[in-house]
Amino acid sequence: MPNISRWNPIAEFNDLLSRYNQHFGSPALPGESENRELFHRTDWIPAVDVRETAENYQIQADLPGMTKDDIKVTVENGVLNIEGERKKEEESGEGTQHRVERVYGRFVRRFTLPDNVDEESADAKFQNGILTLTLKKTEPSRPKAINVEVH
C-alpha cells in the first residue's frame, strides 16, 4: 500500500518565506538590526474592532493575559503598529496538562491610517486585557492649486 502524505500549503509558504529571508534578507533601515526579517513572523493575531465616530477613530484589541509593558504602540508614516508578546506561564511540574489551547508568542498588527487622522492625537489605554486606541479626526489637507503665468 503506498504511503499517503498530506499537503500543507501554509507550511510550504512559511518555508518559502523563511528560505527567502535567509538567502536575500532585506536591507536594514537606519536604527534597525541587520538581521531583521523581511516578513515579520507572528505566533498569533489578536482580535481587533475598529470603530469610527464623527470625531475620531477607535481601535480595540483583545490582549488577555498581558500587561501594558508587554505592548508597544507606534504611529509612523501613516501606519499604526501594535506589537507585543504574550509569554507562556511557567509549568509548575505538578499534575498533567491535558490540553493547551491558548496561544502564546509574538504578534504584530498594522493599520494604514486614513488621511484625516491627526497622528499626534493618538491616545492608548489598557484595562482588563483590552487595549483601546483613540485617534482624532482632522480636516484632510487639500491640494493647493497655483496658477502659473506663461510668458
Q: What is the pLDDT of residues 55-85, one digit of tens each?
A: 999 999 999 989 999 999 999 988 999 999 9
Question: pLDDT at position 3, please?
Answer: 62
Tell me whether strands 71-76 and 48-52 are parallel, antiparallel or unpaired. unpaired
Question: pLDDT at position 44, please?
Answer: 82
pLDDT: which is higher, 135 or 15: 135
42 — pLDDT class (breaks 50, 70, 90): low
Question: pLDDT at position 5, please?
Answer: 61
Q: Ranked by mean pLDDT, which of 60-64, 113-117, 144-148 comes out on top?
A: 60-64
12 — pLDDT class (breaks 50, 70, 90): confident
CA distance 147 to 101: 64
Residue 35: pLDDT over 50: no
Residue 36: pLDDT over 50: no
Residues 6+ away with beta carbon under 8 Å from 12:
none
CATH level 3 topology of 42-89+104-140:
Immunoglobulin-like (2.60.40)
Amino acid type, 138 = T
Q: 89: which 3 cell numbers? A: 506561564
Task: Mark 5-19 as b/e (b = at least 16 C-beta within 10 Å).
Answer: eeeeeeeeeeeeeee
In angstroms, the Cα distances linking 29 to 22, 34, 37 are 17, 8, 12
- Percent of the chain surpassing pLDDT 90: 42
